[in-house]
Chains A and B, each alone.
Chain A
């Protein structure tokens, strides 16, 4: 995961767009917490700039 984050940074994307959370299938609360955190983080970062033109095209 660290390598992927380094690659993203090299490419010019925010490395925090990806992260791995370890948990068991029984840890529902932890899963929700992680999903919420990632959702909040991505909302703050905004859309992936590499996908923006396609998204705009679809909406038009």
Chain B
């Protein structure tokens, strides 16, 4: 899932500025399950803004709505009237959700209520860890299902580095060394020979280094065209 963290209330208030009618919009997918921007959090942020702006002596009209997915325009249709009637929209979706709202509603002033943190998993109640860096060319098939791009601080492909100590990373002693994990798992699977094949330099063009990415699926595009 995409994991996010709510911005401090003061920052959100600064972003909405002097807008009178504010819509707080939650998202029912990733940020709901990481307790950062679902319907419950939208209600909390809306209530907090109501109380805080009243205490400031300049109460605002705060409404709230949550859609199943902010990152697909179809789901945003149902809140069109609410968005168009607001002076500002606080999106509690990830950065994709914020941009989807901005693209769908050209006249809407939309601001982020979350910081989008990473793609990861909950490892225990209340703790999330990064697992995928969306590098564009997945290497998990040769690293025992443990990603060295996301989980090694140096994103090494032929690790570990000299900073690996007692199975932990020199950058943060609480972070397990990804290459130690990979070695241990390959050893457990009796497949250590995988490590005998050094990996060539990675094609980072498939990652962010190649600029904004785009996927075009002609099979789906043609199917859509035929339907029309």
Q: Which residues of A contact B (CB under 8 A)?
A: 7, 10-13, 49-50
> Which 8 pairs across A and B sit closest by C-beta, in order of nearness?
A10-B9, A12-B55, A11-B52, A11-B51, A11-B48, A12-B52, A50-B54, A50-B51
| Total of A-B residue pairs, C-beta within 8 Å | 22
- Given the complex, which residues of B lie within 8 Å of A10, measured CB to CB? 8-10, 48, 52
CB distance from B132 to the nearest CB of A (A): 29
CA distance A11 to B45 in the complex (A): 10
- Given the complex, which residues of A lie within 8 Å of B44, measured CB to CB? 7
- Given the complex, which residues of A lie within 8 Å of B8, measured CB to CB? 10
Q: Is the beta-carbon distance between A50 and B55 smaller than 8 angstroms?
A: yes
> Interface of chain B, helix or strand or loop or mixed?
helix
- Given the complex, which residues of B lie within 8 Å of A50, measured CB to CB? 51, 54-55
CB distance from A14 to the nearest CB of B (A): 11
Closest Cβ neighbor of A12 among chain B residues: B55
Q: Is the beta-carbon distance between A11 and B10 smaller than 8 angstroms?
A: no
Q: Is the beta-carbon distance between A13 and B10 smaller than 8 angstroms?
A: no
- Given the complex, which residues of A lie within 8 Å of B48, measured CB to CB? 7, 10-11
CA distance A10 to B44 in the complex (A): 12
Of B8, B9, B44, B51, chain A has the most CB atoms within 10 Å of the CB of B51
Per the 8 Å Cβ criterion, residues 165-183 of B in contact with A are: none
Closest Cβ neighbor of B56 among chain A residues: A12
CA distance A12 to B54 in the complex (A): 10
CB distance from A56 to the nearest CB of B (A): 15
22 A-B Cβ contacts within 8 A?
A7-B44, A7-B48, A10-B8, A10-B9, A10-B10, A10-B48, A10-B52, A11-B9, A11-B48, A11-B51, A11-B52, A11-B55, A12-B51, A12-B52, A12-B55, A12-B56, A13-B51, A13-B55, A49-B55, A50-B51, A50-B54, A50-B55
